[in-house]
Amino acid sequence: MKKKKREIGAVFIHIFLLAGVMIVAFPFIWMILSSLKSISDFYNFSFLPKKIDWSGYQYIFQETEFLRWYWNSIVVAVTVTISCLIFNSLVGYVLAKHRFPGAKIVFILILSTLMIPTEMLVIPWYVMGSDFGWVDTYWGIMFPGLIEAFGIFLMRQFMLGVPDDILDAARIDGMGEFKIWWRIALPQVKPALSALGIITFLGNWNAYLWPVIITATDNMRTLPVGISLFSTADAGGIKWNLIMCMSTMAVIPMIIVFLFFQKRIVEGIAMTGVKG
Amino acid sequence: MTNVSSNRQPMKLQTRRTLTAYTFLIVPLLFFISIRIFPTLYAFSLSFMTQDHTSGTIDNYKQLLQDPVFWKSVLNTGLYVIVTVPLQMALGLIIALGIQRVRHFRWFYRMIYFLPYITSIVAVSWVWRLMYDQNTGVFNQILTWLHIPPQGFLGDPNESLLSVSAVMIWQAMGFSMLIFMAGLEAVPKHFYEAAQIDGASKWKMFWKITFPLLNPTIVFLAVTGVIQSLQSFTQIQNLTGGSAANAGGPLNSTLSIVVYMYKNAFTDFNMEYASAITVVLFIIILLVTLIQLRILNKSYEY
Amino acid sequence: MKKSKFTIFIAMIICVLILTSACGKKDDSNSGKVTITYWQYTFPQKVDIIKDLIKKFEAENPNIKVVAQDFPYDQYNQKIAAAVNAKKGPDIMNLYYGWLPQYQQKGYIQSIPEDFMSANDIESYYIPMIQASKINGKYYGLPVAVRSLALFWNKDMFKAAGLDPEKPPKTWDELITMAKQMTKMKANGQYEQEGFAWDVNGQGYHTFEEVLLRQWGIIPFSDDGKTVQWSSSPEGLEAFKYWVNMTKEEKIGDRNFLTDYNTAFKAGKAGMMIDGSFSVAATKEAAKFAWGVTTLPVREEGGIKSNFGSYWTNSLAKGLSGEKLKAAEKFLKFLISEDTQKEWLDKVGELPAAASFSNDDSIKSDPIYGPFVEGLADAHATLFVDEAKERDSINNAVESILLKNAPFDKTFENLVKEQQKIRDQYYK
């Protein structure tokens, strides 16, 4: 009896979720379908392409530096994500689990940096970047994002949930603080780490304003910058089908990263909530 | 200090703890100071200068106080926060709960609901613009089919802000969902087991166990959600801006503080005025965040 | 022990980062050569032709190396602002003429050196329109090509509406009448097809300021650019009403239809549009219908002709001096030469700016470019002081009339006041 109730309940939830899926995914599906349209087909504003046209994809692979942009975006996003995962969790751990004078001030100081829109920092960053010769380099694109307050905040919140007794037990055993962080605290917050990984990767994958300012040549550009080259009305009209092609291709690594990490968020159950 | 190992030399342990803490923090802190704090101070100092390079004035602030466009942007930004943050959190939570309840295809649902968050804003904005199009857009097609008169959406100053907000919520709820997923998984299963043994209903379990234990997650999402919403920029810029339109329009109905700042800095080249706007925004965010932390941060006894 | 693991790890990361950053660096050790940088926005045909021109130039001038860089249009201004602020700006920059007053005021560019090309030289070399870039008696940029506006019309749509596909309108009244026959609207007010792609932000406000106002007898701005003269006679308000009523009363087009005027025309859903020569190539590519180009309408037959011209100029960075300045001047001379301009017309589709071409029959008789060249003869380039602000202001005025039913006279009065305020702020 109870099982049947659960099954019916599950079906309802499935229906509800599927309805949401159709609404949520609609613009996305349109984007993919549009990438297969020719430019004039686009102006018909029909949902489905009249004829499947691969010329958009052909163009971006052959006539532009698309692959290079793709690679650049991967390098930047991966490096920054690794850096953020390490440093954000380290700082978050210290702020959550250590009581020391000035802890609150440091936390607020770091948190306050969240409140400044990056649009305003772009010019001082550029001055810094060009003084040190980082213009048009990977380091130039990456340096402002290697640690940031959002991730620290997230990690701190989740580190708060790590039981103190486990940590103290390790300390009594004579473990060094660094090892405690690496071996004990981190595994406890795997779900949060995975979430942070996804968010950081994504933020850097789609970042636009800073990369466009710091890059100068075509082969250092990242994907969003490349896409924007085709989105002005002035230079011969907005090349819709190219934008859609590039955007569709751009989503793929994100989906891979997401599928990879989301499993770990779920698998985290194994480590959390373990008794004593 | 009720630390087990502090019996012998409490002072030494405390100092050692502090030292460790700061050792770990020194590199990140230096980084923060050089990347975020200094540039911010530089930007702030600009606000006390005017375009003809006279420094030490508060002319920009005086102008700001009397600028009706600025105040409109403040009003709009407040509306964005009130409309989008609660909704995207609520939707994110509902979806995360729903996904938790089903047994199959979880990864599929998670991925689809997360898609809006990961798709490039340029492509996505143009799809939305087409959907919102007064004459040929699919929304008006549906409305006409339901015998409701067509709406202006992005073109109507009374509806534009809500239209933009819908896109913001659409994108952000996947993010809330993700964080709630992590938060839900972090709730120890034995609590539910214990409650079930005691005969608690699903509803009661949610309100007495899940919701309270999600508190750090909720605090996190609320605080960051509000901070980010107060800085709304990309969706507005992409949905209402571009070469054929006026970002923040029509009639400044969608203008947010950051869009206004951006216009002043990069379209009018008035960096100084833009810095003043940034300072005011910073103060607003700081105040709102402090208030939020006060209200929301309660600790729960296990 | 643990600390060293930590340091090793950090050291590894730093190494990786340095290595990857080294990949991006370029070797710019040049022996004996002078290197100058040229920045432009990304317009594929322009980028390509500049590449070719640089090759030619470098072959003729082996001691000079020109590095060209291009940036997305939407972020072009920001890029230059950031770079100049960091003292790493370009030596020569390609700027829209409307931005020159601001760039000059901010100290980003210098005037064209007198010994290279004096104001007189410039004025005799170019068509009169470019005098709009004279600031305080000096010129701050040299154009290669100019653009003007023309009336595009959809021949197939004309035919379908019972109009002669080879006879586009000659006056504004004719335009409205013909447009009405092509406009298709649903009962609920939604457009299915518009007779005329009316808009403000694209070419609309130019059409109003430099075409309609002048044809209605008003000179929009005083010679020194300091006074807004739109309401110098009641005809100004009349012209404004006439223009806005095209969409409000006559309903021949909607600025939001199919996202913008250009898209609507290319999609074959607008009977006519006013656009610049820069639109020709894209229209050729996208339009699946027969179309033509003709000169802009006039108020009445035989009445004043007027057109809006615009152009991109090449400006020298402030502080550029010595060898680099000389090299830049050489490149500029090459860039604005008549040969380059002819090539530019072929490859980019922008009209030559040199006065010597005004009587070139081959261009005049071209069915597509002919009307644009004809329009050039009567073209005026608006003396913008803050192009974006001025456009915003007129946009807001139009929207308050269309969306809030604001009264014409009051709104126009406020608009003129606002425009005057913008000028006053610049000139103070």
- Is B12 near chain A, with CB under 8 Å? no
Range of the domain at A170: 63-270
Can you tell me whether residue C282 is helix, strand or coil? helix
Round to whole Å and give the CA distance between B192 and A272: 14
Residue at A189 is within a domain: yes
Q: Contact at 8 Å (CB) between A197 and A179?
A: no
- Residues B21 and B5: their CA atoms lie apart, in Å, by 18
In this predicted structure, the answer to whether residue B44 has a pLDDT above a threshold of 90 is: no
pLDDT tens digits, C388-419: 889 889 999 999 999 889 999 999 999 999 99
Check pLDDT > 70 for residue C141.
yes
Q: Report pLDDT for B195.
A: 78
Mean pLDDT is highest, among A208-217, A222-231, B35-44, B89-98, for B89-98
Q: What would the two tokens of residue B8 be?
A: 């012998």
**How many interchain CB pairs under 8 A, B with C?**
78
Residue B10, pLDDT score: 54
Q: What is the pLDDT of residue C308?
A: 93
pLDDT cut 70: percent of chain A above it:
87
CB C38 within 8 A of CB C90: yes
Burial state string for C400-423 with b = 16 or more CB within 10 A and e = fewer than 16: bbbbeebebeebbeebbebbbebb
Comma-separated ranges of CATH 1.10.3720.10 domains in chain B: 66-296
Q: Evaluate if residue C19 carries a pLDDT over 70.
A: no
A225 at C interface, C-beta within 8 A: yes
Q: How far apart are the C-alpha atoms of B255 and C392, rounded to whole Å?
A: 13
Q: Give the pLDDT band (50/70/90) at residue A2.
A: low
Query: CATH for B66-296, among 1.10.3720.10, 3.30.1130.10, 3.40.1450.10, 3.40.50.970?
Result: 1.10.3720.10
Which residues of chain B make contact with A121, given a CB cutoff of 8 A?
Answer: 36, 39-40, 43
Q: Do C75 and A228 touch (CB under 8 A)?
A: yes
Q: Region A104-118: what's the mean pLDDT?
A: 82
More confident residue, B17 or B133: B133
Lowest mean pLDDT among B85-99, B187-201, C203-217, C300-314: B187-201
Q: How many domains does chain A contain in total?
A: 1
Task: Give the residue-averaged pLDDT of A72-86.
Answer: 92
Predicted confidence at residue A236, as pLDDT, reads: 54
Percent of chain B with pLDDT strictly greater than 70: 91
> Using CA atoms, how far apart are residues C158 and C177, in angstroms rounded to an integer?
12
CB-neighbour burial class of residue A226 (10 A; exposed 0-12, middle 13-18, buried 19+)? buried
State the Cα–Cα distance between residues C38 and C50, nearest whole angstrom.
10
Q: Tell me, what's the pLDDT at A82?
A: 93
Is A45 within a domain? Answer: no
Q: Give B 56-75 residues with CB within 8 A of chain A.
A: none
Question: In whole angstroms, what is the distance from residue A53 CA to residue A39 CA?
Answer: 9
What 3-state DSSP class applies to B180?
Answer: helix
Question: Which of A116-125, B194-203, C47-56, C340-349 has the least mean pLDDT?
Answer: B194-203
Could you report the per-residue pLDDT of C317-366, keeping only the tens digit for each? 998 989 999 999 999 999 999 999 988 888 887 899 998 887 788 888 88
Q: How much is the pLDDT for A267?
A: 56
What is the mean pLDDT of the segment spanning B183-197?
Answer: 78
Q: What is the pLDDT of residue A274?
A: 29
Burial C125-149 (b: 16+ CB within 10 A, else e): bbbebbbbbbbeebbbbbbbbbbbb
Tell me which of B8, B22, B24 to substitute to probe the interface with A (most A C-beta atoms closer than 10 Å). B24
Give the C-alpha distances (Å, rounded to integers) separating C185 from B140, C169, C246.
15, 22, 15
In SS3 terms, A162-207 reads as: CCHHHHHHHHHCCCCHHHHHHHHHHHHCHHHHHHHHHHHHHHHHCC
State the sign of the Cα–Cα–Cα–Cα dihedral C269, C273, C278, C280. positive
**In A43-189, which ranges are continuous DSSP H helix?**
55-63, 66-97, 103-112, 118-131, 138-142, 149-159, 164-172, 177-179, 186-188
For residue A104, what pLDDT is reported? Answer: 82
Whether residue B267 has pLDDT greater than 80? no
Of C102, C258, C392, the CB nearest to B136: C258
- The residues facing C94 across adjacent strands are C314
B130 touches chain A (CB under 8 A): yes
Minimum-distance CB partner of A220 among C24, C72, C266:
C24
C72/A40 CB distance under 8 A = no
The burial of C67, by beta-carbon neighbours within 10 Å (0-12 exposed, 13-18 middle, 19 or more buried), is given as middle
What pLDDT does residue C335 have?
Answer: 92
3-class secondary-structure state, position B209: helix
Pairwise CB contact (< 8 Å): A234 & C43: yes
C98, C382 contact by CB (below 8 A): yes
Nearest CB to B278 within list A103, A117, A195: A117
The whole-angstrom distance between A156's CA and the closest CA on chain B is 10
The Cα–Cα gap between C100 and C109 comes to: 8
> What φ, ψ does residue C144 adopt, rounded to 5°?
-100, -45
Task: For residue B55, give both structure tokens.
Answer: 């420094």
Which is more confident, A275 or B43? B43
Q: What is the mean pLDDT of residues A3-13?
A: 73
Of A16, A94, A146, the CB nearest to B98: A16
**And the tokens for B81?**
């926060």
Check CB contact of B291 with chain A, cutoff 8 Å: no
Q: Could you give the 3-state DSSP secondary structure of residue A232? A: coil
For residue A112, what are the contacts with CB-CB under 8 A and spacing of at least 6?
A149, B282, B286
Measured between alpha carbons, how far is A47 from B176 in angstroms, rounded to an integer? Answer: 30
The pLDDT, as a whole number, for residue A140 is 92
B169-190 average pLDDT score = 84
Greater confidence (C270 vs C349) lies with C270
Q: Do strands C64-71 and C34-41 pair parallel, antiparallel, or not at all (unpaired)?
A: parallel
User: d(Cα B152, Cα C185) in Å, to the nearest integer?
Assistant: 16
Tokens linked to B283: 């103060």
Residues A155 and A86 sit within 8 Å (Cβ to Cβ): no
Q: Cβ contacts (< 8 Å) between B27 and chain C: which residues?
A: 10
As a whole number of angstroms, the distance between CA C77 and CA C96 comes to 10
Ramachandran angles phi, psi of C310, nearest 5°: -145, 170
Percent of chain B with pLDDT over 90: 18
Per-window interface: C 17-56 vs B, CB < 8 A: none
For C297, which DSSP code? P
The whole-chain average pLDDT of chain A stands at 81
Cα end-to-end span (Å), chain C: 68
CB C226 within 8 A of CB C233: no
In this structure, is residue A126 part of a structural domain? yes
Cβ-Cβ contacts under 8 Å, C23 against chain A: 137-138
Cβ A114–B224 below 8 Å, yes or no?
yes
Q: Among B27, B135, B157, whose Cβ lies nearest the Cβ of C257? A: B135
Q: Is residue A86 in a domain?
A: yes
Question: Would you say C309 and C213 are in contact if contact means Cβ atoms under 8 Å apart?
Answer: no
In a domain, residue A120? The reply is yes
pLDDT at residue C24, as a whole number: 43
- Residue C26 pLDDT more than 80? no
What is the C-alpha to C-alpha distance for residues A33 and A30, in angstroms, rounded to an integer?
A: 5
Q: Where are the alpha helices (DSSP H) in chain B?
A: 10-32, 38-46, 59-65, 68-101, 106-118, 121-132, 138-145, 160-185, 189-197, 202-205, 211-213, 215-230, 234-240, 257-262, 271-296
Instruction: Specify the pLDDT at position C39.
Output: 94
Q: C191 φ, ψ to 5°? A: -80, 140
CATH number for the domain harbouring residue A212: 1.10.3720.10
Residues of C in contact with A235 (CB under 8 A): 41-44, 46, 73
> How many angstroms separate the CA atoms of A85 and B1, rounded?
32
Reply yes or no on whether the pLDDT at B244 is more than 70: no
Q: Which residue has the higher pLDDT, B149 or C173?
A: C173
In the structure, what pLDDT confidence band is assigned to residue B255 with cuts at 50, 70 and 90? Answer: very high
| Residue C192 contacts B where some CB pair is shorter than 8 Å | yes
List of domains in chain C? 34-146+310-369+376-380 (3.40.190.10), 148-309+384-427 (3.40.190.10)
The answer as to whether A124 is a domain residue is yes
What digits encode the pLDDT tens for the residues C211-225?
999 999 999 999 888
The DSSP code sequence of C367-418 is TTHHHHHHHHHTEE----SSHHHHHHHHHHHHHHHHHH---HHHHHHHHHHH
Residue with more model confidence, B295 or C41: C41
Residue A269 has pLDDT above 60, yes or no: no
What's the pLDDT score for residue C27?
43
CA distance C390 to B302: 62
Out of A100-114, A257-271, B166-180, C73-87, the most confident range is B166-180
Residues 6+ apart with CB under 8 A from B187: A273, B209, B210, B213, B214
Identify whether the C-beta of residue B39 lies closer than 8 Å to the C-beta of residue A128: yes
Q: Furthest-apart CA pair in chain B: how many Å?
A: 81
In this predicted structure, what is the pLDDT of residue A43?
62
pLDDT in tens, C175-232: 999 999 999 988 878 888 999 999 998 899 999 999 999 999 999 999 888 899 999 9
Q: Is the peptide bond before A49 cis (omega within 30 degrees of 0)?
A: no
pLDDT of residue B136: 75
What predicted TM-score, i.e. pTM, was given to this entire model? 0.82
Residue A120 predicted with pLDDT over 90? no
- Taking residues A177-204, what's their average pLDDT? 84
Closest chain B residue to A88 measured between Cα atoms? B28
Q: Which tokens hold the place of A44?
A: 């018909």
Using CA atoms in the order A110, A114, A117, A122, what is the torsion angle rounded to 10 degrees?
40
pLDDT, tens digit, 9 for 90 and up, residues B61-119:
988 999 999 999 999 999 999 999 999 999 999 998 888 878 788 888 888 888 888 87
Does C268 have pLDDT greater than 80? yes
Average pLDDT over residues B135-146: 83
Mean pLDDT rounded to a whole number for chain B:
82
Task: List, as one string, the DSSP characters of C126-149.
Answer: B-GGGGGGEETTEE--EEEEEEEE
How far apart are alpha carbons C288 and C271 in whole angstroms? Answer: 13
Both tokens assigned to B107: 């990864």
What is the spatial distance between Cα A115 and Cα A93, in angstroms, rounded to a whole number?
22
Mean pLDDT score, C79-104: 87
pLDDT at C425: 85
* Amino acid of residue C202: G
